[in-house]
């Protein structure tokens, strides 16, 4: 932009000078002309050329003859081009200098496992490398170019480099990869009771009790840059014991954040501003303090302390707490600004510090982290369970993010709470919509208008001032999803003077938008069936009226749940089709949790992720010897695929459908069953590294595992390219239940596939705690097909059902696009 302004100013100045030097056109003859002078620059040998695109209005014609008018245009253009030629000659030296400028960008240099145990020696090796590459500069200058040094979980650094310097470093034998740092977006009173982790006096039951409320576990939260509001009641440390002695972190101070803001609940806080644009930092707190509320919400969901009488203006009232309310929190602020930019380099440093500090669980509610491939795998290798949100790009398929085999990727689903809002029409008929209308209405009827699509044109041609406006247009649904159209419709109604909006939509899980978008205006959602009833009433009534009642809470078995939300991103994974992703779903719709000094509803996989993080903390407390893979296995294999009535779980979308593994992985989280899974599918972290090396840098160890992810001992199987030849994969299960037990296989083959398990009976005792079995898949028809789904469940005497999801696609041709 600065170059654009420079050239524009130079051309404008030259034009002005030219008009005084010659008998050019008088400036007064121009009514308007764009001063931005949009142009494109093209390097052409030793010179630069550019194209200027603009419009000039000169008002009334000065000649009747059109040819004379055109001739005047040509004269003017010739004069302008002459002026621009002068500017061009003046600017050529500047442009040549610019062309030769060596632009520096922030690069991430990954070097794999540390070669020294001492972190200082790791950092020194980074300094030596930079000094060698930069050559001829003082070591201090080389060191200053390093923004972050990664020295705890792995070895690497982030530095400001030119492209040629990055290429030079990439050629060094000790370097695995060099990539530019990119930025990623950010991807609860009732929910914990709904998951069976209710706090019953005098003593809780189930996993909450077995895990001792998460006491002694440290959850690192790196899920957004708007990190923490320490004054929130959810972070009160009353009744907590000393900080765990193994904690090695720190409490970094900054703007409106002192060392006193850390306590026995928030035991550490760090912030990372290196490599972040000043424009993003300037609108944020230069400290771990929360800027907008997202971070406080997620942290309190995972491990918030007990807070009585929490609600959002009376809605959702109850005790707010986290899933592991006695766990400690470590805060890492790596994202900044109103647009929440999260540089890879900062996120990588946050994860590296978390490894050093001693966290047990890492919770990351944000978009796909490009650097997470090597950051998260090293964290898992150190015994840290890493949980990611799966993204909010649903219900479109192949939108799942953070789809790595060693992390837990979480989808979002609803729970048994809704917010019915009664609408009474002028003929005394009542219909029910959904809203979060917490302010008392005047109780009277208002005029009701049909706004159609609620476009500006439609509303401007109607009298909607002071009225409740019905937005009902079926054709809109095929062009724009409710999440995109509703904010526009609400804004149009407000601009037109409407008093409120009744918005007809298909189910899209957007109720949490209301408070931010409606901004005091009455907003109610209805489905198309109810919308049609209201539209018919308006059409057939001379003076239609409606009364909107205050929203009520509805909780319990009367609400059909869970359902996978419409916004929750779906599989299969584009990066790794050999994976079943997401791994699991958890509550992520209208979750009530802390935001600054109050409590608000929010929705997204950012909300479901900390639910799984809280449960993982309880599992780690109950089973401290379990690996991250064991915790993931326990969650996936005990998840349920049916609701409380035994109906299959549904997934919202267009249309609503029965959920499959690419919607919810193993199913909906069941914390108490996960505490006693019976069998687990464990993975040695070395197997991850073998796969990782094979995928991102072929090595001799590839053959030990193979390049296909279905060879890993994951609690799922995905085969995206089954052909005529039968394919066999192996799995190993470890008994963590009763010492003497017998499990029998129950097979649900994907349609069109024959699936055989050998052996089909597994017997465990004190000397036989693990078993290996084979699963062979054979296509029944040769077609260029799509994924079909099945499952394998190991059953003992009725106590355990250890289920893994299976996805298989039969194909004839490789690399075949299914665009039908």
CB atoms within 10 A of CB 761: 12
Q: Which residue is listed with tokens 């966290």?
A: 359
Peptide bond into 759 cis (omega under 30): yes
For 485-527, write each residue's pLDDT tens digit: 999 999 999 999 999 999 998 877 778 777 778 877 899 999 9
User: Cis (ω within 30 of 0) for the bond into 572?
Assistant: yes
Give the mean model confidence (pLDDT) for residues 638-657: 93
Q: Is residue 552 pLDDT above 90, yes or no?
A: no
Average pLDDT estimate for 623-646: 96
pLDDT digits (tens, 9 = 90+) for 11-34: 444 443 343 333 333 333 333 333
Residue closest to 25 by CA, chosen among 59, 72, 60, 87? 72
679, 705, 710: which is closest to 692 by C-alpha?
Answer: 705
The predicted model scores a pTM of 0.81
CA-closest candidate to residue 448, choices 471, 425, 468:
468
Strands 717-722 and 801-810: parallel
User: How far is Cα 424 from Cα 413, in angstroms, rounded to an integer?
Assistant: 30
Strand order in the sheet with 770-779: 679-680, 727-735, 770-779, 753-758
Rounded-to-integer distance, Cα 302 and Cα 307, Å? 14
> Per-residue b/e over 24-41, b at no fewer than 16 CB within 10 Å?
bbeeeeeeeeeeebebee
* Rounded percentage of the chain residues whose pLDDT exceeds 90: 48
Q: What is the rounded distance in angstroms from the CA atom of residue 452 to the CA atom of residue 534?
A: 12
798 burial type by CB count under 10 A (0-12 exposed, 13-18 middle, 19+ buried): exposed
* Burial environment of residue 43 by CB neighbours within 10 A (0 to 12, 13 to 18, 19 or more): exposed
Q: What does the pLDDT average to over 705-713? A: 82
Tokens of 367: 């978009």
Q: Is the pLDDT of residue 91 over 60?
A: no
Q: Three-state DSSP class for 145?
A: coil
Of the chain, the end-to-end C-alpha distance in Å amounts to 43
Handedness of CA 466, 468, 473, 477 (dihedral sign): positive
3 state SS of 206: helix
Burial 120-140 (b: 16+ CB within 10 A, else e): eebbebbbebbbebbeeeeee
Q: How far is CA 386 from CA 237, 335, 433, 693, 720, in A?
A: 25, 18, 39, 20, 26
Residue 87 near residue 151, CB atoms below 8 Å: no
Q: What is the DSSP string of 644-705?
A: TTSPBPEE-SSS-EE--HHHHTT-B--HHHHTS-SEE----HHHHHHHHHHHHS--TTHHHH
Per-residue pLDDT at 55 exceeds 70: no
Q: Residue 154 has which token pair?
A: 């792995």
> Would you mind telling me the total number of residues written for the chain in this entry?
820
Structure tokens at 814: 């490789």
Q: Which one from 371, 376, 401, 606 is the annotated catalytic residue?
A: 606
More confident residue, 37 or 567: 567
Beta bridge partners of 779: 753
**Highest-confidence segment of 113-122, 437-446, 640-649:** 640-649
And the tokens for 813? 């041709």
Q: How far apart are CA 784 and CA 789, in angstroms?
A: 16
Task: Classify residue 51 by burial, with Cβ atoms within 10 Å: 0-12, 13-18, 19+.
Answer: exposed
SS (H, E, C) 243-306: CCCCCCCCECCECCECHHHCCCCEEEEEECCCCCCHHHHHCCCCCCECCCCHHHHHHHHHHCCC
Selecting among 223, 290, 353, 403, the annotated active-site residue is 223
Average pLDDT over residues 738-762: 97
Place of tokens 């982030």: 158
DSSP H helical ranges for 392-481? 456-460, 474-479
Give the C-alpha separation, 587 to 637, whole Å.
Answer: 18
Determine the pLDDT at residue 284.
Answer: 73
238 is catalytic: no
Cβ atoms of 165 and 178 within 8 Å: the answer is no
pLDDT for 268 = 92
For the segment 735-748, the average pLDDT, to the nearest whole number, is 97
Q: What is the C-alpha to C-alpha distance for residues 20 and 141, in angstroms, rounded to an integer?
A: 50
pLDDT, position 501: 95
pLDDT at residue 317, rounded to an integer: 84
Distance CA 807, CA 350 (A): 35
Phi-psi group of 112: left, alpha or beta (phi > 0 → left; psi -120 to 50 → alpha; rest → beta): left
Cα dihedral angle (203, 205, 209, 210), rounded to 10 degrees? 150
Burial 571-601, CB ≥16 within 10 A → b, else e: bbbebbbbbbbbbbbbbbbbbbbbbbeebbb
Separation CA 228–CA 221 (nearest Å): 10
φ/ψ of residue 754, rounded to 5:
-95, 130
**What pLDDT, on a 0 to 100 scale, did the predictor assign at position 104?**
82
**Average pLDDT of the residues in 307-317:** 83
Residue that has been written with the tokens 């005091």 in this structure: 520
Q: What is the pLDDT of residues 153-181, one digit of tens each?
A: 888 999 989 888 999 999 999 998 888 88
Q: What's the DSSP call for residue 466?
A: T
Question: How would residue 1 be classed by pLDDT, with cut points 50, 70 and 90?
Answer: very low
Distance from C-alpha of 288 to C-alpha of 628, rounded to nearest angstrom = 28
> Which of the following is catalytic: 294, 297, 611, 771?
294
CA angle 222/228/232 to nearest 5° reads 140
Q: How far is CA 600 from CA 228, 294, 315, 385, in A?
A: 15, 10, 10, 28
Please tell me whether residue 554 adopts helix, strand or coil conformation: strand
pLDDT tens digits, 110-154: 888 888 888 889 999 999 898 888 876 667 777 888 989 998 888
Cα 175 off chain centre by:
30
Q: Give bridge partners of residue 765 from the DSSP assignment.
A: 768
Q: What is the DSSP letter of 710?
A: G
Asked if residue 421 has pLDDT above 60, the reply is yes
- Does the structure show a pLDDT above 70 at 226? no
- Find all residues with CB under 8 Å of 61, minimum gap 6, and list them: 69
* Pairing of the two strands 545-548 and 420-425: antiparallel
**Residue 680: its pLDDT value, please?**
98
Active site residue 627: no
- Asked if 584 contacts 666 with a C-beta cutoff of 8 angstroms, the reply is yes
- Distance CA(398)–CA(779), nearest Å, equals 24
Q: Above 50 in pLDDT, residue 213?
A: yes
- pLDDT level of residue 52 (50, 70, 90 thresholds): very low
Average pLDDT, the chain: 83
Decide: 573 and 656 in contact? Cβ < 8 Å. Answer: no
3-class SS shares of the chain: helix, strand, coil, % to 5: 30, 25, 45
pLDDT band of 575, cuts 50, 70, 90: confident
- CA 690, 696, 702, 707 dihedral sign is positive
From the CB of residue 641, how many other CB atoms can be counted at a distance below 10 Å? 17
Give the distance between the most distant pair of CA atoms in the chain. 106
Residue 640 a catalytic site member: no
Distance CA 404, CA 604 (A): 20
DSSP 71: H
Question: How many CB atoms sit inside 10 A of residue 245's CB?
Answer: 7
| pLDDT at position 254 | 85
């Amino acid at each position: 932009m600065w170059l654009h302004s420079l050239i524009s100013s130079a051309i404008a100045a030259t034009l002005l000078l030219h008009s005084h030097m010659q008998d050019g056109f008088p400036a007064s003859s121009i009514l308007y002309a764009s001063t931005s002078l949009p142009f494109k620059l093209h390097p052409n040998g030793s010179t630069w050329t550019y194209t200027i695109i603009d419009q000039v209005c000169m008002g009334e014609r000065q000649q009747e003859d059109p040819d004379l008018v055109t001739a005047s245009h040509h004269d003017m253009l010739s004069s302008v081009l002459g002026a621009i030629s002068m500017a061009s000659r003046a600017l050529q030296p500047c442009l040549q200098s610019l062309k030769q400028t060596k632009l520096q960008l922030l690069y991430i240099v990954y070097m794999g496992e540390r070669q020294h145990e001492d972190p200082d020696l790791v950092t020194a090796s980074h300094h030596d490398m930079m000094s060698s590459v930069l050559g001829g500069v003082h070591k201090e200058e080389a060191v200053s170019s390093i923004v972050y040094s990664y020295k705890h979980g792995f070895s690497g650094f982030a530095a400001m480099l030119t492209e040629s310097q990055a290429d030079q470093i990439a050629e060094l034998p000790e370097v695995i990869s060099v990539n530019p740092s990119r930025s990623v977006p950010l991807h609860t009173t009732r929910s914990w009771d709904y998951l069976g982790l209710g706090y019953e006096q005098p003593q809780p039951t189930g996993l909450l009790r077995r895990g001792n409320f998460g006491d002694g576990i440290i959850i690192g939260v790196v899920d957004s840059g708007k990190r923490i509001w320490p004054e929130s009641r959810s972070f009160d440390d009353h009744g907590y014991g000393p900080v765990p002695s193994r904690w090695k972190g720190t409490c970094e101070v900054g703007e409106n954040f002192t060392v006193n803001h850390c306590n026995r609940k928030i035991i550490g806080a760090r912030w990372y501003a290196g490599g972040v644009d000043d424009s993003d930092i300037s609108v944020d707190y230069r400290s771990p303090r929360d800027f907008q509320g997202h971070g406080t919400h997620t942290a309190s969901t995972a491990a918030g302390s007990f807070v009585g009488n929490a609600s959002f203006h009376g809605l959702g009232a109850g005790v707010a707490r986290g899933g592991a309310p006695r766990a400690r929190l470590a805060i890492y602020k790596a994202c900044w600004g109103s647009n929440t930019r999260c540089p890879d380099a900062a996120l990588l440093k946050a994860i590296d510090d978390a490894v050093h500090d001693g966290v047990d669980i890492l919770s990351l509610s944000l978009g796909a982290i490009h650097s997470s491939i090597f950051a998260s795998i090293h964290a898992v290798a150190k015994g840290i369970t890493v949980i990611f949100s799966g993204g909010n790009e649903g219900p479109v398929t192949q939108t799942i993010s953070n789809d790595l085999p060693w992390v837990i990727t979480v989808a979002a689903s609803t729970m048994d709470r809704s917010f019915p809002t009664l609408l009474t029409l002028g003929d005394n008929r009542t219909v029910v919509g959904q809203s979060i209308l917490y302010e008392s209405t005047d109780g009277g009827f208002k005029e009701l208008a049909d706004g159609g699509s609620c476009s500006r044109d439609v509303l401007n041609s109607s009298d909607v001032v002071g009225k409740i406006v019905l937005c009902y247009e079926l054709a809109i649904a095929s062009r724009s999803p409710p999440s995109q159209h509703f904010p526009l419709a609400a804004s149009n109604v407000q601009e037109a003077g409407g008093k409120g909006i009744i918005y007809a939509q298909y189910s899209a899980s957007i109720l949490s938008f209301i408070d931010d978008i409606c901004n005091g205006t009455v907003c109610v959602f209805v489905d198309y069936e109810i919308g049609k009833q209201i539209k018919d009433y308006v059409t057939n009534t001379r003076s239609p009226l409606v009364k909107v009642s205050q929203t009520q809470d509805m909780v319990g078995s009367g609400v059909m749940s869970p359902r996978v939300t419409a916004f929750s991103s779906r599989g299969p994974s584009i990066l790794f089709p050999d994976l079943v992703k997401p791994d699991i779903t958890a509550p992520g719709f209208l979750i009530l949790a802390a935001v600054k000094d109050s409590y608000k509803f929010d929705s997204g996989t950012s909300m479901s992720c900390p639910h799984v993080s809280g449960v993982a903390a309880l599992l780690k407390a109950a089973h401290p010897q379990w690996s991250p893979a064991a915790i993931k296995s326990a969650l996936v294999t005990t998840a349920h695929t049916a609701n409380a009535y035994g109906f299959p779980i549904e997934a919202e979308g267009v249309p609503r459908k029965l959920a499959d593994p690419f919607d919810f992985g193993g199913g909906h989280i069941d914390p108490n069953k996960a505490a006693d899974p019976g069998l687990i599918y464990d993975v040695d972290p070395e197997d991850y590294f073998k796969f990782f090396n094979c995928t991102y840098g072929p090595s001799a160890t590839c053959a030990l595992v193979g390049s296909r992810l279905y060879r890993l001992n994951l609690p799922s199987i995905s085969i995206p390219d089954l052909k005529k030849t039968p394919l066999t994969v192996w799995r190993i299960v470890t008994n963590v239940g009763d010492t003497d037990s017998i499990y029998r296989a129950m097979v649900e083959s994907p349609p069109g596939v024959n699936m055989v398990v050998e052996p089909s009976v597994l017997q465990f005792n004190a000397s036989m705690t693990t078993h290996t079995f084979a699963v062979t898949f054979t296509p029944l028809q040769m077609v260029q097909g799509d994924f079909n789904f099945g499952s394998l469940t190991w059953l003992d005497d009725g106590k355990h059902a250890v289920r893994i999801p299976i996805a298989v696609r039969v194909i004839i041709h490789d690399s075949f696009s299914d665009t039908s």
